[in-house]
Amino acid sequence: RKEVEQDPGPFNVPEGATVAFNCTYSNSASQSFFWYRQDCRKEPKLLMSVYSSGNEDGRFTAQLNRASQYISLLIRDSKLSDSATYLCVVNRAGYSTLTFGKGTMLLVSP
């Protein structure tokens, strides 16, 4: 079983739609959680950290369920510029390295 698993994509949605991405992780020792965004042929960039209490940044909401080892990202009112691959990322306690999921591609169309 892969350490971080994400929904296979791509997700094709119209502008203005709400879209949710799901992610599960296998290592219960995982300590920190992130969503990164990666545009085509570019480097990953941090979108947001994910906290146990859930957190929101504008149109983006991230949730963490440690008991189920599950992370989600909700994008409301999607824009054309949201088209990208979204990477679920975890970091194990005591380690600095990041473990990435394969990513889920989002395509927002007019």
Partner 1 sequence: DTGVSQDPRHKITKRGQNVTFRCDPISEHNRLYWYRQTLGQGPEFLTYFQNEAQLEKSRLLSDRFSAERPKGSFSTLEIQRTEQGDSAMYLCASSLDRRREETQYFGPGTRLLVL
Q: Return residues touching partner 1 (CB under 8 A).
A: 4, 32, 42-46, 49, 87, 89, 95-103
Comparing CB distances to partner 1, the nearer of 16 and 46 is 46
In whole angstroms, what is the distance from residue 62 CA to residue 72 CA?
6
Q: Which of 76, 64, 58 is nearest to 15 (CA)?
A: 76
CB of 17 or CB of 38, closer to partner 1: 38
Shortest distance (Å) from residue 10 CB to partner 1: 11
CA distance 110 to 107: 10
Closest approach of Cβ 20 to partner 1, in Å? Answer: 19
Whole-angstrom distance, CA of residue 54 vs CA of residue 61: 7
CB 4 within 8 A of CB 25: yes
Is the CB of 2 or the CB of 77 nearer to partner 1?
2
Q: How far is the CB of 41 from partner 1 (least distance, A)?
A: 8
CB of 5 to partner 1, least distance (A): 11
Q: Which is nearer to partner 1, 73 or 89 (CB)?
A: 89
Task: Collapse the DSSP code of 86 into the 3-class scheme (helix H, G, I; strand E, B; otherwise coil) and give the result.
Answer: strand
